[in-house]
Amino acid sequence: MTTSAMMPRHVAIIMDGNGRWAAEQGKPRIWGHRNGVTSVRKTIQYCQDKGVDALTLFAFSSENWNRPQDEVSMLMELFIVVLRREVKRLHKNNVRLKIIGDTDKFNLKLQQQITKAESLTSNNTGLRLNIAANFGGKWDITQAAIKLVKTVQQGHLQLSDINEATFGQFMSLSGIPEPDLFIRTGGEHRISNYLLWELAYTELYFTDTLWPDFDEKAFDQAVDSFSKRERRFGKTSAQVADGKND
C-alpha cells in the first residue's frame, strides 16, 4: 500500500472501456456506462481516503457527439440521473463539484441540473471533483485565448503582462494545481484531446483494465507506479536528489 506522502495531489482520469466491458457480457453499451458509475463512486472515495486534493474525470468529450445518436441520448439522460442522485452524497462528504467543458451545448434540463449541483457544493472544502463534459483540450485553449483577447481589448490587461501564468488563469482548471498523475483505463495509449495544457509535466499511466473493473487495487497500482518515478521538471537527476532549484 502506497503511503500518503507518495500520493499525487491531483489525479486526472480518462474512464475508457465501458462499452467493451458491456460487450464482453453480451450487454448493450449503456449497461457498461451505468456500471462505470460505480467505479466513479469508488474512485472518489479512494481519493478522499488517501488525501488527494483534486480529481478530474473525462466523462464526455467534444468528439463523443459523433457516436450513435441513441447512445449519446442515453448518456445525456444518465448524466442527469447521476448528477441528481449523487450530488447529495458528494455534498455530505464535503466534495466540491465543478463541470468543465462547453456546457452550453447540453439541453436546458441538463444545464439546470449542473447549475444546481455546482451551487449546492460550491462552499465545500474537501476533494475538488472536476467532471469534464463536452470537453476538449483544444477547445479549452481556444476559449482561454478568446477570454484573454477580450480582457486585453477592455484594457484590463496589457500585452506585456501575458505569459504562461496569466494565460493559465483563463483555463477551465484555473486555480487548481496541474495533474500529477494521469490514468487511462481500457488499454489505449493516448490522451485523446484531454487537458492538453495541464498535462505538460504530468506522469502518464495506462492500464488494460476496463473502467467498470477499475477498483482500489488498480488505483494503488497506478499510484505505486507514480511514486517510483523521478519528476525532474527540466532539472538533472543530481539537482533533484540535492533539492536544488537551479
Alpha-helix runs per DSSP H in 65-162: 69-92, 108-121, 137-153
Joined together, the cell numbers standing for residue 82 give: 447521476
Q: Is 117 exposed, middle or buried (0-12, 13-18, 19+ CB in 10 A)?
A: buried
For residue 237, what pLDDT is reported? 67
Task: For residues 14 and 186, give the distance between their C-alpha atoms in angstroms, rounded to a whole number.
Answer: 9
List, by residue number, the catalytic residues: 16, 64
197, with CB counted inside 10 A (0-12, 13-18, 19+), is middle
Owner of C-alpha cell 447521476 = 82
- Helical (H) or strand (E) element with 221: helix 216-227
Instruction: Round to whole Å and give the CA distance between 207 and 40.
Output: 16
Per-residue confidence in pLDDT tens, the chain, 246 aa:
444 448 999 999 999 999 999 999 999 999 999 999 999 999 999 999 999 999 999 998 988 888 888 888 888 888 988 899 999 999 999 999 999 999 999 999 999 999 999 999 999 999 999 999 999 999 999 999 999 999 999 999 999 999 999 999 999 999 999 999 999 999 999 999 999 999 999 999 999 999 999 999 999 999 999 999 977 666 666 666 676 554
Residue 132's domain comprises: 4-242
What pLDDT does 232 receive? 64
Nearest of 11, 12, 2, 15 to residue 207 by alpha carbon: 15
Task: Give the domain CATH number at 126.
Answer: 3.40.1180.10
- Of 38, 98, 110, the residue nearest 74 (C-alpha): 110
H or E element in which residue 181 lies:
strand 181-184
Written as one string, the DSSP assignment of 141-169 is: HHHHHHHHHHHHHTTSS-GGG-SHHHHHT
Burial 155-187, CB ≥16 within 10 A → b, else e? eebeeeeeeeeebeebbbbeebebbbbbbbbbe
DSSP sequence for 23-57: HHTT--HHHHHHHHHHHHHHHHHHHHHHT-SEEEE
**Dihedral (Cα; 28, 33, 37, 38), 10-degree rounding:** 40
C-alpha cell at 68: 450513435
Task: Please tell me the total count of domains within the chain.
Answer: 1
What contacts 56, CB < 8 A, 6 or more positions away? 10, 11, 12, 13, 100, 129, 130, 131, 132, 173, 179, 195
